[in-house]
Structure 1
């Protein structure tokens, strides 16, 4: 079946598209970050406007973050499948992924070395991470590292590529027709999603990752390609010790 041509929204429809983008990718992450803020800076305001249920759930961030991510992903996939203008192959894109994997693997060693150097420096030369944080997870908790390797790609990396790459590029390409602007703004939105961790390292790591993953998706239009790349870098980040900055259990806690 031939897909109907896409028509860019105009007038009120375009204004609504901008509003929708701002709610989903600016306001919602800010609301979640405020809810899990260990300093409770905006909790009084949230209480005043009737957001106590959100604050209650956010007392244990893991109860809020993962159900929200997986629930949002399920809704977005359903919406994309019902959208006749959407190329369903972008949800997977096996052939395009296979063609792009050599590039992903060629880039990985150099980038992994940079992540490793950053983890070593933060653990041994600064008070940001404890001295033994460097590769602590695979050394001391190989069982947990294995579980992360199994579940992280499926329940975290891939869903994030659906919400922040597949849906984002399909729905908001009309707002950012310049490819470079689209890539940069997408990476910034991806980084902003991690504001809930309340540390600058999470924002920096995910901004760099967002640029890389958005570039991969922009090249391939394959969620699988971006998801695999996201998983590879995410797992290495956890292994080196940098994963503490983007771990739900770290919110409001000092490094172990």
Structure 2
């Protein structure tokens, strides 16, 4: 059983992302539908697994404290990142809202629902629950989930998306462990994602060309 579970993990979270990255010219156009389907399948699995505590999906107990902690971390880091983008990527600074306003508004509006929520269901809720039998140590699952989360972003074909996703995966995994709430993590993920699209990093995380 453990071998089968390891093979499943490798197939879904290693082989599939590598194939998507290798054939990104074709796979990018289907990325959002694929993400939605996989996210839905993960949700259905969790809802039908009696060992999974469903309240983890929408837990609001203590949520305000976790959201406040997320904001306290976000504000100084966002200021630093904004300055770094301004200095080192001046052509990218505020590019999406200024040059592609309609795309930016559309992205900000639908991103939390069609991208963030499926990702959190897959890489946090599903991953932490499904692979607990083979990776019982929560810290090890945290690191592993962060690694495969970063690997999944290799499909965008740039180092910034992968490296940024390592740190994002560690942050979101930590928040999930602390809050035990998919909702809380999705809110934090949405905050960071919308910021990235606004400040000038959106082009590194979009599945369509801005040219």
User: Is the shorter-chain TM-score for this pair beyond 0.5, marking a shared fold?
Assistant: yes
Shift of 1:69: 0.4
Give the 3-state SS of the residue equivalent to 1:86 in structure 2.
coil
Question: What residue in structure 2 maps to residue 17 of structure 1?
Answer: 5
Gaps of at least 5 residues in structure 2 are none
Question: What residue in structure 1 maps to residue 35 of structure 2?
Answer: 69
Q: Which of 64, 88, 104 pairs up with 1:98? A: 64
Question: What residue in structure 2 maps to residue 115 of structure 1?
Answer: 81
In the alignment, the residues of structure 2 paired with residue 242 and residue 26 of structure 1 have an alpha-carbon distance, to the nearest angstrom, of 25
Q: Which of 161, 166, 179 pairs up with 2:138? A: 179
Question: What residue in structure 2 maps to residue 191 of structure 1?
Answer: 150
Shift of 1:110: 1.4
In the alignment, the residues of structure 1 paired with residue 84 and residue 31 of structure 2 have an alpha-carbon distance, to the nearest angstrom, of 27
Asked whether 1:137 is paired with 2:96, we answer yes
Q: Which of 226, 232, 236 pairs up with 2:185? A: 226
Provide the TM-score with structure 2 as the length reference. 0.93
User: Is the Cα contact below 8 Å between 1:96 and 1:222 reproduced in 2?
Assistant: no
The structure that has the greater radius of gyration is 1
Q: How does 1:53-64 map to 2 (within 5 A)?
A: 58=26, 61-62=28-29, 64=30
Gaps of at least 5 residues in structure 1 are 1-12, 39-57, 125-130
For this pair of structures, how many residues does the alignment match?
A: 211
Asked whether 1:242 is paired with 2:208, we answer no
Give the 3-state SS of the residue equivalent to 1:95 in structure 2.
coil
User: Is the Cα contact below 8 Å between 1:96 and 1:225 reproduced in 2?
Assistant: no
The alpha-carbon distance between structure 1 residues 225 and 73, as it changes in their structure 2 partners (threshold 3 A), is: same
In the alignment, the residues of structure 2 paired with residue 218 and residue 227 of structure 1 have an alpha-carbon distance, to the nearest angstrom, of 13
Q: How does 1:76-91 map to 2 (within 5 A)?
A: 76-91=42-57
In the alignment, the residues of structure 1 paired with residue 127 and residue 62 of structure 2 have an alpha-carbon distance, to the nearest angstrom, of 19
Question: What residue in structure 1 maps to residue 23 of structure 2?
Answer: 35
User: Is the Cα contact below 8 Å between 1:123 and 1:134 reproduced in 2?
Assistant: yes
Shift of 1:90: 1.3
Q: Please list the CA deviations of residues 171-225 of structure 1 after superposition, one character each: whole Å capped at 9, or x if unmatched.
A: 1123323333221111111000011111111101111111101100011111111
User: Is the Cα contact below 8 Å between 2:96 and 2:202 reproduced in 1?
Assistant: no
Structure with the bigger RCO (C-alpha within 8 Å, sep 6+) is 2
Asked whether 1:213 is paired with 2:172, we answer yes
Give the 3-state SS of the residue equivalent to 2:135 in structure 1.
coil
In the alignment, the residues of structure 2 paired with residue 18 and residue 105 of structure 1 have an alpha-carbon distance, to the nearest angstrom, of 36
In the alignment, the residues of structure 2 paired with residue 121 and residue 197 of structure 1 have an alpha-carbon distance, to the nearest angstrom, of 23
